[in-house]
Chain A
C-alpha cells in the first residue's frame, strides 16, 4: 500500500521567516495531495491541495509543489506568523477503487517564535 514520509518532525522558525515541509510518497498511482493544519483540540483543517496534473499551487502565503518523477511534494509557508504554529500533515490519495482514502505523513510540529 501507499506510504507517506514527512520531514522534519519539528520545525522552529522566527516570525517572518519561511517554513518548508517535505513529503515523499511511494505509490505512483497517487494523484491527489492535500495538506492539513491541526491546532490543539481541533480536527485537521484542509489548507491547500494539489493534483498530479499540476506542478505548483499557491494561496496567499502558502504554496505547494509537486514533483511526480521524484514522488515528493512540499509545503511552503512564507512570512510566518504566530498563528501558523500548529501540526501540519501531508497526505496522498489514489482515488479510483481506493475511494477517498488518505494516507497521512507523520506530521510536522511548527512553532513560530515572535
Chain B
C-alpha cells in the first residue's frame, strides 16, 4: 500500500498571504489528522476529519481551517500568514475513529517571510 502523501513538500509564502496544503491518506483510511511541528512548540494537534466531518480541533486560531473530501483526501488552509506559522505541517492517516494507530506523511515545510 502506498503511504500518506503530502503536497507540496516545500512552500515559501509572504506574510499576509494564504496557503493550502494537501494530504492523501493511505487507501482505505477514513480519518485524517493534521499536526504542526516547530522547534519551540513541538508537535501540536490542529484538527481531525473523519467521513468529511471535523471531529476535533486543537488550540489554533480560526485562520487555520481544513476540510475532507468524499475520497478521504484532506486539505488544510492557513489565511493571513504570520511569521510564526513557519513550521512543518504533518498529516496523519488512520483506519478509523478513536485511539487507532496513525501513520504520518513526510510533511510540508512552510516558510513564511
Contacts and interface: CB of A to CB of B under 8 A. Distances in A.
Interface in B1-19: 4
A81 to B, nearest CB: 23
Interface residues of A, number: 29
A46 interface: yes
Interface in A50-102: 51, 89, 91, 93-102
Interface in A34-59: 34, 36, 41-46, 49, 51
A32 B43 CA distance: 17
Nearest to A107: B42
A103 B98 contact: no
Nearest to B105: A43
B101 A101 contact: no
B63 interface: no
Contact of B99 (A43, A45, A94): A94
The 9 A-B pairs of least Cβ separation, nearest first, read A95-B99, A32-B99, A95-B98, A43-B104, A104-B43, A99-B55, A99-B56, A44-B104, A43-B106
Interface of B: 4, 31, 33, 35, 42-45, 48, 50, 55-56, 58, 90, 92, 94, 97-107
Interface of A: 31-32, 34, 36, 41-46, 49, 51, 89, 91, 93-107
